[in-house]
Structures are given as C-alpha cells and as structure tokens.
Structure 1
C-alpha cells in the first residue's frame, strides 16, 4: 500500500465528498484476492473502471462529482483466480505535482491538463483513460501506471470523448467530441493502426454538452440537447439546463460531410447514455437509450435531480420523425449491451437501477437490470440495504457464444465488510446468486464507466 494522503478528509456538508462518494486516500496493490464462489476459467483479462477521486478541493461547498481527478480501479482475473486489485490516480501534470512526482508532460490540446475521470477503453494496443470537454485521453500501462497524454500518434485534431464506440466489424474507434474552451463538435474515426483517418467538424450553436452518441452500420447519431456549458470552471459545476435551446437529433452518414447532417426536431430532454442503435427496414433506425426529461436545473445538479428511464426511439428517415416509447418505469442509468452487437440488432441490454435520491443517501445503484427487448421483459439483481452497485459490463463467454451467454461484471459495495466486491453474474441466471464475488480489501468510491479487457490470444 502506498500512502498518497493528498485529500484526507471526508466532508459531510457535500454529498459528493461523503458516504460512498467519498474519495479514497491510498493507492493499493493487493494480490491473490479471496473469492466466494467460483471464477469462470474463461475470464482471462482485466476489469477496469474509472471514476473521480479528488486530490484537492478548493471550494468544498461547490465541488461536484464530475470534477475530481480520475482514478482507475482494476482487477486481474486469470485461470479461475483473482490475481490482483490495483487503484491508481491518472497522472496529469497537476496530479503528479501534487503527489511530489516527476511530471510526465506530453502533448496538450489548448493547454488543457486534466486527469481523465470518466471511462477507460483499450484500442490498438493502448489502455486509454477518457474524459470529455476537450482534454486528451491518457495512456496507461497494463498495471495502471500512467504513460502520458495520448494524441493518437499526433493525428488527433482536438480532444476526445468520454464515450467511444469500437466497431466490432471493422475494429475502428469512433467518437463524437466537443470542446467547451474553443466550441466545436467533431466526429472522429481512428483506424486499427491507432491513427485518426477521418474527422468531420460539425457546426452547432453555442456550447452543448454532447456526452455520448450512437453509431449504426451507416450513420452517426448526434444528440444536440438543452444542456450547455456555462463558462464556470474549477470546482464550480460547469453545465446547466437551457430551456430556450431546441432539442434535436442529428443523422450524419458515416462517410458524409458536415453539410450532410440531417437535423430532426425532438421533445426537450437530455441523454447521457445510449445503449445501442441499429438500422432496419431500409428507412428506420432503432435506438435504445436512457432519457431525462430535464437535467441540471437544481441547486446542486447531480445524477439524481431528475430520474432517467429506458426508452426506445424509432427514427423514420423517410418521414424525418422520431417516435418515443418508454420501456420501464424504474429509474435507470449506465445502459450497456453485448459489445459484439454494437451498431447492429440486439435483443438484450443491461442497466443500473438508480436510487431516487443518490446524493442524499450517499449511494447511487440499487441493483442491476437485464432487459429482454424482444419480449419486453426484465430481470433484476438487487443489492441489500446499505449496499450499492455500479455499471454492469457484459462479457461474452467466447467469440461464438450466444448474445446473453456470458457474465456481467460490476463493482458492488458490501456494507457488512465495509469494502467492495467485484460481482460476477451469470447473464442467463441474472436474478440468482452471483457466480463469484471477488473481495477487494478496500472500498471503491462510486464512479462512472469501465470495460472488460480480455487477454490477447
């Protein structure tokens, strides 16, 4: 265990610095983790998850969950064993300086230096920590130490997105990036060599927050919605609901130019996370996503100020319309599906069932939900009182396995141990007991997104 006591107090006046949101203070390496149940031998790789873990908070009353420096939490599984758990801050220059370490330096976009705190992706041999807003991703090594900022070998024209789509057919990486400092929206495609081969600058009005996007076989879907950058930086919350901004969905051909974006009017809303999108019938696009009626219009904006629900949108390209259908009354977030099904038809999806008042309870996830979108049914795995669970990531049992033949991995807080477990749930027995619980020696603070990164063949 390495002592990194840079931010060493829990503040109970701010819900994002207390309870299960509270940052941890140490970087830990733990080997040969205890396991309840049996880890499938086919799980050979790393489960990595990113999330905010502030080193320093200038104004505690103004601090928001989204603003903390990123920390990667990882578990290495191999041959039925949990070989290690590690957590490491992403070393931007500011983080390295506060820790008293040598600065890594490296490329910058518009001089931005931020430790990405939102997602982690493996692409073209690189482990990448991701964030939105114009900052570059940071590369990590397989043991979660920071290599430095990554600009796709000098080919990335701006920043990157917190969410990327790895096309399972071409192996290329797609992203829709925006920048608050120098307003732009860019669609970026990186080839399997790790270099950007194409980018399109898309004109938009003002400074919209475009957290995510959707990709189909032939189209890119752009969510231009009424949440905008306000100009506040530092510890202040930088986004707000703009009731005067129209909501619209952009449809861009994958190989088209900016002039080919077709904008379709939709009801005011906000979308953090689509689950998947696909084309059918020659004129329709189906999108499964999580929709907020409004967002970021309260005193302390957060993920719980308005509930979000799973919806199905049907885009009629001939008529230029978007039809909505709510699929679940439960508040949910962090939707995922089988990564092999991205951009194409899918039957199953997974989401975290959110609590109604996350900030007040110091917790966020009450359970995980598996959706059968073909039959219109669902199965829930619930955590007990005082517990919490994060995003569920589906891992197929093998390249040729069925769509729900595999496991769902998620970090879950165990109040009896006062520490976190890595849950391994059988996707085909989703409501039953976990196949395995890997017992971490520490609490993992509530965070955002992660991925399963299998060992290379």
Structure 2
C-alpha cells in the first residue's frame, strides 16, 4: 500500500529544473526585487512505502527570482544531506552535524546574515544554500550552536537578531538561542522539560519568550517499534505555557497550566501592559501523531497571558478551520492589526488548502479568497510594497496548483485588494508538491 503522503499533490517530483524568463499573467510590481523561497518534503528514492511520513521527506527548495517586473528564473533543488548526496551520486558538502544525526531540512527556508538557510526541527542542523539554491553544507553558526536548531525562528525587527527554541528527543531540556546579525549564537538558555515534548514553534514579544510545552511527546514504545516519527499525544503530560523574560534564565520561567491542546504555529505575539497577547492556530487535540487527517480542525485563537496572576485566557477569534498563520513580519513582537491564514478544512482531510483568509483584529472582520478546487494553495507570505509602507500595504505571495495546466503558479495578491484579481500570476513549468513554509528574500537595498 502506498502512503497517502506520496500521492496526488503530495507526490514527489523526480527532477531538478531550471527555467528562465517565466510567463506572467498580469504585471509584477517593479518594486518586487528578490527571491520567493519555498521548501517542503520531496523524498528521494522512495517509490512505494506505506510507512513513509510526510514530515520526514528529504527537503527540496523551490525559488522564483523576481526583478524589474520579470520572473527571471525558477529552480528547484534537493538539499544535499549525506543521504541525498549519496543517492544523487555526488560528494557530500561536508559540515558539522549532531551525533551522526543528519537530514535534508524540509520545513522552512529563510535568509539571515546573507545566508539562505534550510531549517528543520528535532535536533538536526540547518543547511546553508547559495543564492541559486546550491547546497553549501550543514551549519553550526561558526561553532556557536551547541545542538540542533528549529523550523521556526523569530526575528526581532529592531535588532535583526533571530530567536529560536530547539528540542531533541535525547535532551531533558529545550534550548533557547539568540543568533546575532553577524551569524553567531550570542545567548543560550537550557530550559528543563520532561518527557521529550515536540516544540514546533514558540512566541516572542519585546519582553518575553513564550514556550509551548504541550502533550505531544517522544514515545519510546513507538521508537522501539521503528515508527519513523515516534511522537504521540500523551495524556500524562500536562499542557502548560512558559513565560521567560528575554534576559532571564531557566529559573525565571513562569509555568502556567492550560487545558490540553496542540499548537503548530504562532501568528504573532506582543506585550499589552503587564499581559502578553499571543495569536495562534490551536488544535483542541492531536491524537494521530504527526498525521493531519482524523484530528479535530484547528481554529484561530488568542491567548492573553497574565504572568503575575499565573493565568491564561483563551479565546477563539475565528472558529473556521485554518492554519499556517502569517503576519507582516515588520510587526513581529509588536501589536498587529492584520493576519493571514490558509483555510484548513481541506488540510485536515487531505493536506490541501483551497483558500486564504485575511483577519482584521481591530474591526473583528475577515475576508476569504477562494481558489479553484484542487489548487492546494499554500501559506501566504506578506511582502511590504516599500520598507516604510504601512501595515497591510503590500503583497501576499503564495503557490497554488493550476488543475488546468497541471502545474503550479506563484500568485501575487495586493493585500489591500484581498479578494480582487491577482496582481500577477507567474506560471511555473512544473508542479510544486505541497510543502510547508517559505519566505521572501529581498535583494540588498
């Protein structure tokens, strides 16, 4: 039996492609100068494997280069881990790995300190890529990263530093780190936890680091049964939120119990006087390990944390199924008005989104932009129209499969005309398998 994660829009592509001068419907704004980057699992050497898990597929990065109103190129490249390099018959671009644990990162791709970084969680190291997505090798930030890294960093817009929380099943702690603008870890705090929890994301404000210690934990029983992703819902592991001052240590964490739930992704967080506001996508439970199907759908929630009182007030902002929340990242750690999500009823059923949502937290209103059935629309990345433009004055970029062409488009939407005609649609020559996260890497100003 073939895994459902090897079929349909999830089926891997088998070739690396480079195509120049892509056709465009509409007009690419001339101010968009940079690379749209997207990553996801694209397993190499797997043809029929019912035990394959989507989260563990070899990472493939996809890039579209925009400049002067043109789509200059599209290219896709596997990240050359040791395994991938061997399967491709290439030398491995060697570098530092952790305790012989190496994988081709598949979860997020960002730019920092002039480096393109492919990211994954659970103890593996990031991989550095060049501007044309060639693999340079695994990275420990000049020997300053003690262990693995994370899929979800948070950039402080004032300092440019990257904050992160890493985990590994063999640790009895989480590792909070701060990566400087020169590419070195300048701060590291080990936060003790029990049971080896999965910590996919976290939240950051100007004052605090917010830790999610939730009931999906490492399962030795699953590991001994050779389950490839040995993490499962653990009723015996209490759900709690940790609030740590950004300049504090492990002893300064204030742990607050909350009802059991699961969080993959934070939209944003900020300080509100003595309280902390966190907007996120929340699953009421997550009973099927890392598999999406069969779980209760995620909703858009707001958690208001009172560290002094030790209380968390949880509210549902929008009870429609949605995931992959994003925000104008210039507002990261600050109060935001707008947020963007992917409609997730289809995500829960078969890993394919078919619409985007825009939320106005000030008015309490929302808009929905629907795509054609079977589009598998992905996470929307916000790009400001100019460095100093107002919040929501910019564009949303997303990948969507075109069932008519049987190939994928990069769709550019004016965020202030969310349901209107796309500003530009860049027609890629191939299908991009459904993936996880992406980012916009602007050209240096």
Structure 1 residues 296, 139: CA separation in 2 closer, same or farther (over 3 Å shift)? farther
Q: Does 1:110 align with 2:99?
A: yes
Query: CA offset at residue 356 of structure 1?
Result: 4.0
Q: Does 1:369 align with 2:357?
A: yes
Q: Does 1:295 align with 2:286?
A: yes
Q: Does 1:17 align with 2:17?
A: no
Query: CA offset at residue 380 of structure 1?
Result: 1.0
Contact 1:67–1:235 (CA under 8 A) maintained in structure 2 = no
Q: Does 1:229 align with 2:218?
A: yes
Match of 1:6 in 2: none
Structure 1 residues 303, 429: CA separation in 2 closer, same or farther (over 3 Å shift)? farther
Q: Does 1:451 align with 2:442?
A: no
Secondary structure, in 3 states, of the residue corresponding to 1:20? helix
Deviations 1:157-195 (A, max 9, x none): 111001001110111110000012344310000111100
Deviates more, 1:57-66 or 1:160-169: 57-66
Tell me the matched-pair count: 442
**In the TM superposition, what are the counterparts of 1:8-157 in structure 2 within 5 Å?**
13-57=2-46, 60-157=49-146
Secondary structure, in 3 states, of the residue corresponding to 1:48? strand
Deviations 1:416-457 (A, max 9, x none): 000000000000000111111000000000000000000001
Deviations 1:35-65 (A, max 9, x none): 0001000100000011000013397111111
For 1:393 and 1:291, locate their aligned partners in 2 and report how far apart those are by CA, in whole Å.
20
Deviations 1:204-231 (A, max 9, x none): 0111000000000010000000001224
Match of 2:161 in 1: 172
Residue of 184, 187, 209 corresponding to 1:220:
209
Deviations 1:395-429 (A, max 9, x none): 01111101000000000001000000000000000
Query: CA offset at residue 329 of structure 1?
Result: 2.0
Q: Does 1:257 align with 2:249?
A: yes
Deviations 1:18-50 (A, max 9, x none): 000100000000100000001000100000011
For 1:440 and 1:270, locate their aligned partners in 2 and report how far apart those are by CA, in whole Å.
35
Structure 1 residues 163, 52: CA separation in 2 closer, same or farther (over 3 Å shift)? same
Secondary structure, in 3 states, of the residue corresponding to 2:51? coil
Residue of 285, 295, 317 corresponding to 2:276:
285
Deviates more, 1:316-325 or 1:345-354: 316-325
Match of 1:319 in 2: 309
Deviates more, 1:37-46 or 1:288-297: 288-297
Match of 2:407 in 1: 419
Query: CA offset at residue 357 of structure 1?
Result: 6.0
For 1:258 and 1:59, locate their aligned partners in 2 and report how far apart those are by CA, in whole Å.
46
Query: RMSD over aligned Cα, in angstroms?
Result: 1.5
**In the TM superposition, what are the counterparts of 1:308-457 in structure 2 within 5 Å?**
308-356=298-346, 358=348, 360=350, 363-457=351-445
Structure 1 residues 310, 303: CA separation in 2 closer, same or farther (over 3 Å shift)? farther
Query: CA offset at residue 259 of structure 1?
Result: 0.5
Match of 1:275 in 2: 267
For 1:156 and 1:113, locate their aligned partners in 2 and report how far apart those are by CA, in whole Å.
15
Query: CA offset at residue 13 of structure 1?
Result: 3.3
Secondary structure, in 3 states, of the residue corresponding to 2:83? helix
For 1:367 and 1:432, locate their aligned partners in 2 and report how far apart those are by CA, in whole Å.
13
Secondary structure, in 3 states, of the residue corresponding to 1:16? helix
Secondary structure, in 3 states, of the residue corresponding to 1:272? strand
Contact 1:395–1:407 (CA under 8 A) maintained in structure 2 = yes
Query: CA offset at residue 386 of structure 1?
Result: 2.4
For 1:415 and 1:304, locate their aligned partners in 2 and report how far apart those are by CA, in whole Å.
26
Contact 1:332–1:351 (CA under 8 A) maintained in structure 2 = yes
Contact 2:346–2:354 (CA under 8 A) maintained in structure 1 = no
Contact 1:304–1:355 (CA under 8 A) maintained in structure 2 = no
